[in-house]
């Protein structure tokens, strides 16, 4: 009996091995791996890499932030993700102050399900108004939530005592906190000082969010988690000072993981000095850092000092960004990268910094394992048939004209990438989304 679909003669790359053979899919699962497999439908992958679909555990789709809502919705965002080789995303849910957590979770799940073309999960955000609702966490966990987003900045910022209480509740449900770590008090003081002195251009965005205070907040949150005794994951590490904190904690056996994002690997703070609206576009938080930090983060990925690359995809239009032209603190924060993430990290393989296996681990296997998607992120019999056929020789110059994201601009305009996905398969189905 032939299998439903066989991917033939490709080089199968997982986090632990690289072999040239066939992969067979039956229904929505990987059914066999070996030579001379027969399929009703076959894909010739000779000369291509056959890799697990990417898992991006940090995206903000149709997310209201301040006056605006991020431009990609669950359709356009997941379509762009899929065309870039990502087959699972994790987005966020925030409950209104009076709303039960489970109700908010189920509402957002219904919305995401109605539009997504790939699989998804949701991080439940715990805001200050949710601290009195912490006894509701078991219901949310029961509904399938494994990860809980805690902010140390913005209006959702939790003070240390609230972090401590939230960690205790998350520990009881065996959940994983995922953390936006910055020192909000210092940021507010620096913004106030800069704006009061007429320092209002985007140049001052990164100068109001110093590296050492990102590192300080990471140090602090690791200490609080250590005290409570649960693992934590640090989102969007922007600089080496933070890597040092994570590395030191891990060396002591403290269960901390860290991610960085394409913007911190490819872009730097000089971009904030571009004239006009162009300087506002790359505003994100934590901010872009000086150029030498890019290299240090690549080094951290190669050394397993950081374990994951996600995107923090959170796009706003040029018009929305321009509303903060005369006050950097009003620029909606976030950049798009959901489509180019997998190929962008492949540049680490092209330039010899990463092995093929490290690349797959950073973009698919490690994020799937960390967030409880135990049937994803790997090519093995019984796993979900989320597979990407990746052409290592296809060259692509990134342009907003050809990407499928909807912001209308990309901070990577003109960046030449070697390697790009050719075919994306989600639960056994070849996606045709062009
Ligand atoms: N940082 C951003 O720049 N945007 C979305 C949320 C965040 O933490
Ligand atoms: Zn964040
Ligand atoms: Zn984010």
Q: What is the pLDDT of residues 272-288, one digit of tens each?
A: 999 999 999 999 999 99
**Pair of tokens at residue 40:** 């009703």
For residue 377, report the distance from its CA to the centre of ligand 1, in Å: 25
For residue 184, report the distance from its CA to the centre of ligand 1, in Å: 14
Per the prediction, the chain carries an average pLDDT of 98
Closest CA to 282 of 304, 293, 266: 266
Ligand 1 pocket: which of 57, 60, 152, 411 to mutate (most atoms <8 Å of CB)?
60
Closest CA to 99 of 139, 51, 63, 59: 139
**Under 8 Å CB-to-CB from 352, ≥6 apart: which residues?**
none
What is the spatial distance between Cα 81 and Cα 20, in angstroms, rounded to a whole number? Answer: 26
**Are 271 and 324 a contacting pair, CB within 8 Å?**
no
| CATH architecture, domain 53-370 | Alpha-Beta Barrel (3.20)
Q: Which residues pair with 217 in a beta bridge?
A: none
**What are the two backbone dihedrals, phi and then psi, of residue 385, each rounded to the nearest 5 degrees?**
-80, 65
What is the spatial distance between Cα 359 and Cα 145, in angstroms, rounded to a whole number? Answer: 27
210: helix, strand or coil: coil
When pLDDT is cut at 50, 70 and 90, the band that residue 261 belongs to is very high
For residue 59, report the distance from its CA to the centre of ligand 3, in Å: 6
For residue 347, report the distance from its CA to the centre of ligand 3, in Å: 23
Per-residue pLDDT, 433 = 86
Q: Which atom of ligand 1 is nearest to the CA of 180?
A: 8
Give mean pLDDT, residues 379-402.
Answer: 98
| Ligand number nearest to the C-alpha of 57 | 3
Per-residue pLDDT, 49 = 99
For residue 90, report the distance from its CA to the centre of ligand 2, in Å: 13
What is the spatial distance between Cα 143 and Cα 141, in angstroms, rounded to a whole number? Answer: 5
| pLDDT exceeds 90 at position 434 | no
Does residue 334 line the site of ligand 1, with CB under 6 A? yes
Does residue 314 line the site of ligand 1, with CB under 6 A? yes
Q: How many CA atoms lie within 13 A of 334 on its CB side?
A: 26
Per-residue pLDDT, 243 = 99
**Under 8 Å CB-to-CB from 130, ≥6 apart: which residues?**
95, 101
What is the spatial distance between Cα 94 and Cα 128, in angstroms, rounded to a whole number? Answer: 11
**Pair of tokens at residue 284:** 């994100």
Percent of the chain with pLDDT over 90: 99
Closest CA to 92 of 163, 161, 148: 148
**What are the two backbone dihedrals, phi and then psi, of residue 291, each rounded to the nearest 5 degrees?**
-50, -45
List Cα–Cα distances, 231 to 149, 178, 234, 374, in angstroms: 13, 9, 10, 17
Residue 401, number of CB atoms within 10 A of its CB: 8
Q: Where are the domains of the chain?
A: 53-370
**Are 74 and 115 a contacting pair, CB within 8 Å?**
yes
The conformational region for residue 408 under phi > 0 = left, psi -120 to 50 = alpha, else beta, is left
Does residue 333 line the site of ligand 1, with CB under 6 A? yes
When pLDDT is cut at 50, 70 and 90, the band that residue 321 belongs to is very high
Helix or strand holding residue 274 (H, E): none
Q: Whose CA is nearest to atom 7 of ligand 1?
A: 285
Q: What does the pLDDT look like over 72-113, one tens digit per residue?
A: 999 999 999 999 999 999 999 999 999 999 999 999 999 999
Does residue 284 line the site of ligand 1, with CB under 6 A? yes
**Pair of tokens at residue 434:** 């062009």
When pLDDT is cut at 50, 70 and 90, the band that residue 344 belongs to is very high
Does residue 286 line the site of ligand 1, with CB under 6 A? no
**Are 288 and 268 a contacting pair, CB within 8 Å?**
yes
Give mean pLDDT, residues 166-171.
Answer: 98
| Ligand number nearest to the C-alpha of 92 | 3
**What are the two backbone dihedrals, phi and then psi, of residue 192, each rounded to the nearest 5 degrees?**
-60, -45
For residue 180, report the distance from its CA to the centre of ligand 2, in Å: 4
When pLDDT is cut at 50, 70 and 90, the band that residue 40 belongs to is very high
Characterize 256-292 residue by residue with b for buried, 16 or more Cβ atoms within 10 angstroms of its Cβ, and e for exposed: bbbbbbbbbbbbbbebbeeeebbbbbbbbbbbbbeee
**Under 8 Å CB-to-CB from 252, ≥6 apart: which residues?**
none
Residue with the two structure tokens 């690349």: 359
For residue 334, report the distance from its CA to the centre of ligand 1, in Å: 5
Q: Whose CA is nearest to atom 8 of ligand 1?
A: 285
Per-residue pLDDT, 230 = 98
Per-residue pLDDT, 374 = 97
Per-residue pLDDT, 307 = 98
What is the spatial distance between Cα 382 and Cα 31, in angstroms, rounded to a whole number? Answer: 6
When pLDDT is cut at 50, 70 and 90, the band that residue 292 belongs to is very high
Ligand 1 pocket: which of 259, 312, 338 to mutate (most atoms <8 Å of CB)?
312
What is the spatial distance between Cα 295 and Cα 278, in angstroms, rounded to a whole number? Answer: 24
Does residue 123 line the site of ligand 1, with CB under 6 A? no
For residue 58, report the distance from its CA to the centre of ligand 3, in Å: 6
Residue 193, number of CB atoms within 10 A of its CB: 12
Does residue 285 line the site of ligand 1, with CB under 6 A? yes
When pLDDT is cut at 50, 70 and 90, the band that residue 389 belongs to is very high
For residue 203, report the distance from its CA to the centre of ligand 3, in Å: 21
Ligand 1 pocket: which of 314, 324, 332, 407 to mutate (most atoms <8 Å of CB)?
314
Residue 402 buriedness (CB in 10 A; 0-12 / 13-18 / 19+): exposed
Does residue 133 line the site of ligand 1, with CB under 6 A? no
For residue 159, report the distance from its CA to the centre of ligand 3, in Å: 19
Residue with the two structure tokens 């602090």: 220
**Are 393 and 47 a contacting pair, CB within 8 Å?**
yes
When pLDDT is cut at 50, 70 and 90, the band that residue 154 belongs to is very high
């Amino acid at each position: 009996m032939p299998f439903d679909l066989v991917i033939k003669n490709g080089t199968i790359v997982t986090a632990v091995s690289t072999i040239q053979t066939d992969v067979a899919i039956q229904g929505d699962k990987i059914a066999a791996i070996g030579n001379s497999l027969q399929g009703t439908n076959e894909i010739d992958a000779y000369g291509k890499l056959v890799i697990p679909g990417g898992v991006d555990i940090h995206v903000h789709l149709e997310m209201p932030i301040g006056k605006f809502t991020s431009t990609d919705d669950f359709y356009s965002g997941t379509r762009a993700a899929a065309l870039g080789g990502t087959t699972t995303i994790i987005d966020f849910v925030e409950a209104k102050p009076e709303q039960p957590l489970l109700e908010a979770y189920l509402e957002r799940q219904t919305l995401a399900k109605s539009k997504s073309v790939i699989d998804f999960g949701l991080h439940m955000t715990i805001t200050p108004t949710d601290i009195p609702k912490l006894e509701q966490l078991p219901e949310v966990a029961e509904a399938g939530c494994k990860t809980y987003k805690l902010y140390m900045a913005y209006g959702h910022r939790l003070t240390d005592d609230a972090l401590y209480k939230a960690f205790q509740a998350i520990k009881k449900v065996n959940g994983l906190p995922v953390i936006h770590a910055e020192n909000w008090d210092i940021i507010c003081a620096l913004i106030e000082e800069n704006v009061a002195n007429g320092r209002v251009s985007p140049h001052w965005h990164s100068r109001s969010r110093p590296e050492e205070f990102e590192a300080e907040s990471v140090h602090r949150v690791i200490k609080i988690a250590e005290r409570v005794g649960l693992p934590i994951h640090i989102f969007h590490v922007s600089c080496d000072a933070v890597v040092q904190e994570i590395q030191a904690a891990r060396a002591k056996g403290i269960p901390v993981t860290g991610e960085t994002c394409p913007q911190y690997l490819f872009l730097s703070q000089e971009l904030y000095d571009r004239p006009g609206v162009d300087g506002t576009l790359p505003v994100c938080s934590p901010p872009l850092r000086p150029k030498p930090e890019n290299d240090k983060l690549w080094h951290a990925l190669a050394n397993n000092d950081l374990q994951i690359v996600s995107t923090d995809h959170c796009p706003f239009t040029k018009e929305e960004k321009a509303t903060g032209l005369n006050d950097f603190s009003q620029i909606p924060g976030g950049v798009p990268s959901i489509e180019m993430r997998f190929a962008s990290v492949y540049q680490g393989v092209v330039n010899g910094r990463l092995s093929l296996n490290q690349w797959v681990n950073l973009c698919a296997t490690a994020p799937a394992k960390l967030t409880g998607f135990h049937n994803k992120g790997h090519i093995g019999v019984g796993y979900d048939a989320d597979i990407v056929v990746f052409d290592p020789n296809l060259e692509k110059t990134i342009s907003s004209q050809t990407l499928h994201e909807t912001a209308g601009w990309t901070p990577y305009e003109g960046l030449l990438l070697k390697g790009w996905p050719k075919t994306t398969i989600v639960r056994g189905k070849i996606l045709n989304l062009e």
